[in-house]
Amino acid sequence: MGDKPLLVIQAHINPEILPEFERWYLKVHLRHMFKIPGITAGFRVRSSRPGPNWMAVFTFSNETIIQKALSSKEANQARQDWEPWLSHASEVSVEVYAALRPLPAYRHWD
């Protein structure tokens, strides 16, 4: 993962509308995602296993931008993009992953 935090979105999209969903994702939603401050790259994954069959992963430029990015008007627009698709989606999750930093060392003196 490196030092760049990740935004991971997963969902099970009804397979009957998956091609239409992917067209929308490429033509509309992806443009909105890359307008979010701090989003620098992204890719998507398709799975045939049970559970979520679609996943997108985006990288943030750094940890300090995460809160600003998620509360931005651009992120709000990206969330609104999903509304028409929610009736065709289940098991939707949005997660942020960031590197753990070492805990400070403490000394106990008797």
Per-residue pLDDT at 1: 46
Per-residue pLDDT tens over the stretch 36-86: 999 999 999 877 778 899 999 999 999 999 999 999 999 999 999 999 999
Number of domains, the chain: 1
Give a yes or no: residue 51 inside a domain.
yes
Per-residue pLDDT at 38: 96
Mean pLDDT of 82-91: 94
Give a yes or no: residue 109 inside a domain.
no
Q: How far apart are CA 20 and CA 62, in angstroms?
A: 33
Give a yes or no: residue 52 inside a domain.
yes
Per-residue pLDDT at 2: 61
Q: Cβ(57)–Cβ(42) under 8 Å?
A: yes
Give a yes or no: residue 64 inside a domain.
no
Q: Cβ(51)–Cβ(9) under 8 Å?
A: no
Structure token pair of residue 60: 């943030």
71-75 contacts, C-beta under 8 A, 24 or more apart:
72/36, 72/37, 74/32, 74/35, 74/36, 74/37, 75/36
Segments forming the whole domain that contains residue 40: 19-59+71-89
